Amino acid sequence: MERKLIRSALDQLDNSYAPYSGFNVAAAVLAESGKIYTGVNVENASFPAGICAECNAVSSMVSCGDRKIKAVAIIGRDTKAPEGKTAGYVSPCGICRQVLREFSDPGELRVIMAKSESDFRFMTLEELLPESFGPDSLEAGKN
């Protein structure tokens, strides 16, 4: 499962639009349905208007009707580094962690940070975002 998810992210990495930072990121989320959705970071000259790869992948998932993430793979590349060199283990930023929290069980969500299909590590979202605030924290999220 990890390698397939990482490969899905790797296949999208060249589609990243990062002319300002030179830091390409791609993500692939595995939905509870078994479908994989991908996304890349898309920068903007008005910096706050950019979107992270993880948020892009989650938005794609939600727009297709899925609502629960089982795993996410993230890979990055610094375009200023030697050709083909990935950026190390890329962890989701704080905003992306919160977006992932919205659509997952933080104790179960596997966040896979990859350099390649064979070189990766993972943590749960709960490890990355302890004592998180999510839908179940709000009265409207309680069923």
Q: Which of 2, 32, 54, 117 is catalytic?
A: 54
Supply 65's token pair: 């009707």
Q: What strands lie across the sheet with 36-40, from one edge to the other?
A: 36-40, 23-31, 69-78, 110-114, 120-124
Residue 117 known to be catalytic: no
Cβ neighbours of residue 38 under 8 Å, at least 6 residues apart? Answer: 8, 9, 11, 12, 26, 27, 28, 29, 57, 60
Active site amino acids: 54
